[in-house]
Chains A and B, each alone.
Chain A
Amino acid sequence: MGSRDILNKIRESYGASITRADIPADNRLLLFINRDSVKPLAGYLFRDLDARYCAGIGMDDRPYSGDFLVSHDFAFDRENVLASLIVPVPASDPKIPSISEVVPAASWSEREMRDLVGIMVEGCPNPKRLVLPDGWPEGNHPLRKDVPWNYVPEDFDDRKTYPFDDPPPGTTVVPFGPFHPTLDEPAHFRLYVEGEFVRGCEYRGFMVHRGIEKLADSVMTYNEIPMLAERICGICGCVHAVTYAQAVEQAAAVKPTPRSEFIRTLMLEIERLHSHALWVGLAAHILGFDTLFMQSFRIREPIMWLAEKITGNRKTYALCLIGGVRWDITPDLRAEIRRVLDRIEKEWKGVFDAVKGDRNIMARSKGIGLTDKQLVKDFSLLGPIARAAGVDIDARRDHPYAAYDKVEFNVVTQEGGDVWARIVVRVLEVFESIRIIRQCLEKMPEGPILAEPAAELPAGRIGTSSVEAPRGEAHHFVVTGEENRPRRWRVRAPTYQNLQAIPAMIKDQRLADMTISLGSIDPCFSCTDRMEIVDIRTGEMRVWSREELQAGTTTITRRRS
């Protein structure tokens, strides 16, 4: 079933709501619908057609069409179709009905578009702020086109705090984060604890939101944005660069060269290898099993060196450009990659053998952080979380991109939906990644690694792209624009969906299991830290500058040669 069949099916019941339908490709569907039918139509897609919710996008389109635009993106995983329900919202009355009631997974996206674009979402179950800081004045929406990228509101109120709910009776509040040894990035969970049991929690995150999307649509250019996209995540940055590039390529009908598609696939899998090894290590550390932590990191290290040999950097590969890649795989590298893969495969088998029968690890991870198929459906949970609950989704197979349709691999699933199942899924996926990289080396065609640049990309085109990051599907939405940059670029990282299910996963569990439950989704909040020095005697505060941090890191990591 392609996008045309899905369109026909939707027309049967909701033909009158659709004002325009575009099919830019056989696996993409853009439905322009009227505002009142967004809730029933979203419900129909989500429940009756069993589509997965990808992301909600709010956009200030006033300079171009005079309206705001809202898009709710859905994925038809069995049919390989990404569909966008696009709703024009009049500038004079920026309101849209909430769909969270029928599509719980849309909750954060709706709160985000209200915060950042100022589209009021009527009937939103949680009216509190999601993204904007507490002191940010009301009625000030940074993603609107008339707000400059470096705007700082004068009436920012530093003393304003988040209005947390009252804890349920009989519970005490245990703050978890923003600083916690197993939570290396800032996010705050206010846990309501009764004895050793967590009875509920409230989340407040987005503490170091960097305004990357704003920067992209006002300062950067098409080919600079992949570098920015890469810095969205310190672990799976390449994923975001590829997702962005593919979304632009899809919007502007640019075809990346065949060789570059293989190189993208190869680097994405190298990234998955190091990410999974890192996660297994961190999960072991959270459980107090530091020997596995250290061994896992030791096995991972050659992968980092490999990435450095290919791209010049252990992480943030600066790989992607619109239409191709920057770095080629030379014959020398090919041999080196094979050698490293053989070694990792052997050592990882050792890890698998050690872990698979370890009753000690099972005692800490079985039945912990439970999800079931219903929860996966409701919050559109992704990646290893979904696969560990027996939901067989993987964007690499379901929405093939780059060279994934030219390689063979298995999608690893487990039943159980607990931390143990997630460990098994990730450990086994490492072997599949090794398989994919080997096939890439074999099948990679010769040829250029970058397509001839187009004179100018057409403006006003919509492109979407999904890429399977190590922690789940990353979804990007792009509207091409003028001045060599997109009008709107929306990033939905996998943690965005998975994190929304944490309150359900930790409820009525022991406090001791909180860290591994949260760790099991491999959360990625911002991948940002900054260092502030406060002199407690004078109260004077100073933030480390970029130059100081850079000088510091080079002193620490300078190689002994």
Chain B
Amino acid sequence: MKGFVAAFFYSVLNLVLVLLVAPLFDGITRKVTAVVQSRKGPPITQSYIDLMKLLIKEDIEVGDSPVMQRFSALLSLAAILSVALLIPMGASAPLAGYADSILLIYLLTLAGTSVLLAGLAAGSPYSLIGMSREMMAMMTLEPLIAIAIIMAATHAASLRLDAVFGGAGYPGTHTPWSGILILGVIAFALQAFVGRMPFDVTEAETEIMEGPLMEYSGPKLALFKYARMAKMFVYTALFIALFVPRISTGFYLTDLLVFLAEQAVLMLVVTLIAATHARYRIDQVVRYYIILFILALLALLLAVLGS
């Protein structure tokens, strides 16, 4: 019973954390981008304001299947929030006792699937192109994070989440070749997981006008945007959980601050890369993912062989 209360308490904490802090981080990245571009930039609170504005707008139903559209918007945020319950943020993963790595991989894929659904439901040619791009990207990109999680599980010899996280990306005993390799792969892929330049091919405003999202406005768009911000938060958290050994001071608040600081560093790197690159074309993107995929497989092989 006590375990259940703690799980519930930390679940709520994680959700509140993602929902409250993700827009703030988004605001900071916008400000940093602005500075790089010699602009003043919007106030740091702008992302909250944007979300609120969209949320109070009229919900316009367009396209082939409005129900599916509503569902995909909800799913996009719901999936990423579910992932947030399985990842340690300051404290250990809230629902670690109720789920395992396999479920985590499923939920991560579900978040990508919601974009496919969104594009399909909107049904405009540009949405469909965006959808097919997302599909191509998913098939080569999603396995990377799955491999990273499976590798950590191999090292920990367990699928339990609390065993997989906390820097289990590296094997415990000797030179962590496989761990270093997969760390490199995921570091190079992080930009793509969060859909930032040069990998924002699925939305590519100047090519396909936001692709799957072009038909969405108002509250539904708010949900997609919220999901995008949350994705940044959750994927950086996942990266830290997998590769950064946990320093526990025993106090939740200090742990949380350390965690947020680590996240901020990661996001800063992502933002700076995004601000200094042009968008790659979908074929170039897929080629890049495939190279990472092959390296990831190599890392998995090493891990299985025990190094």
Contacts and interface: CB of A to CB of B under 8 A. Distances in A.
B158 interface: no
Nearest to A292: B278
A196 B283 contact: yes
B278 A511 contact: no
Nearest to B284: A363
B209 A181 contact: yes
B282 A288 contact: no
B198 A360 contact: yes
A295 interface: yes
B198 A288 contact: yes
A340 interface: no
B302 interface: no
A288 B281 contact: no
A255 interface: no
A182 interface: yes
A364 B279 contact: yes
Interface in B22-43: 33, 36-39
Contacts of B201: 512
B277 A289 contact: yes
A428 B125 CA distance: 39
Contacts of A291: 33, 36-37, 275-276
Interface in B118-139: 125-126, 129, 132
A17 interface: no
A409 B277 CA distance: 33
Contacts of B276: 291
A175 interface: yes
A298 B38 contact: yes
Interface string B208-250: 1100000000000000000000000000000000000000000
Interface in A223-260: none
A363 B280 contact: yes
A510 interface: yes
B205 interface: yes
Nearest to A354: B276
Given A174-B129, A360-B277, A510 B282 contact: yes
Given A364-B279, A511-B129, A288 B200 contact: yes
A109 to B, nearest CB: 32
A513 B281 contact: yes
A521 to B, nearest CB: 16
A284 B278 contact: yes
Interface residues of A, number: 33
B39 A288 contact: no
Contacts of A286: 206
A174 B206 contact: no
Contact of B282 (A294, A512, A515): A512
A295 B37 contact: yes
Contacts of A363: 278, 280-281, 284
Contacts of B132: 195-196
A551 to B, nearest CB: 25
A195 B277 CA distance: 26
Contact of A180 (B39, B209, B281): B209
B130 to A, nearest CB: 11
Name the interface size band of chain B. Answer: 20 to 34
B126 A174 contact: yes
Given A174-B125, A288-B200, A360 B207 contact: no
A288 B197 contact: yes
Interface in A31-86: none
Contacts of A172: 125
B204 interface: yes
Which one of B208, B276, B278, B279 has the greatest number of beta carbons of chain A within 10 Å?
A: B278
A73 B289 CA distance: 53
A358 B277 CA distance: 9
Contacts of B284: 363
A181 B206 contact: yes
Contacts of A175: 125
B281 A364 contact: yes
Contact of A196 (B33, B36, B126, B282): B282
A293 B275 CA distance: 11
A129 interface: no
A290 interface: yes
A457 B63 CA distance: 61
Contacts of B208: 511-512
Interface in B239-282: 275-282
A361 interface: yes
Contacts of B37: 290-291, 293-295
Contacts of A295: 37-38
Contact of A512 (B38, B197, B281): B281
A319 B201 CA distance: 45
Contacts of A196: 129, 132, 282-283
A285 interface: yes
A287 B282 contact: no
A180 B277 CA distance: 23
Contacts of A513: 281
Contact of A182 (B206, B278, B281): B206
Interface in A511-526: 511-515
B280 A364 contact: yes
A91 interface: no
A102 interface: no
Contact of B281 (A181, A294, A510): A510
A173 interface: yes
B278 A361 contact: yes
B203 to A, nearest CB: 10
Contacts of A514: 207
Contact of B207 (A289, A361, A515): A515
A364 B129 CA distance: 19
A357 to B, nearest CB: 13
B208 to A, nearest CB: 7
Contacts of A285: 206
B209 A288 contact: no
Nearest to A174: B125
B129 A288 contact: no
Nearest to B200: A288
B262 to A, nearest CB: 26
A512 B115 CA distance: 19
A180 B200 CA distance: 18
B126 A287 contact: no
A295 B282 CA distance: 26
Interface string A157-183: 000000000000000111100001110
A180 B36 CA distance: 27
Interface string B168-206: 000000000000000000000000000001101100111
Given A288-B200, A510-B281, 14 more contacts: A175-B125, A180-B209, A181-B205, A195-B132, A287-B279, A291-B33, A291-B37, A294-B38, A361-B278, A363-B281, A364-B279, A512-B207, A512-B208, A512-B282
11 contacts: A180-B209, A181-B209, A284-B278, A287-B279, A288-B277, A360-B280, A363-B280, A510-B283, A512-B201, A512-B207, A513-B281
Kindly list the 10 A-B residue pairs having the minimum CB-CB distance in the complex, ordered from nearest: A288-B279, A294-B37, A289-B278, A287-B278, A182-B206, A174-B125, A512-B281, A286-B206, A291-B275, A298-B38
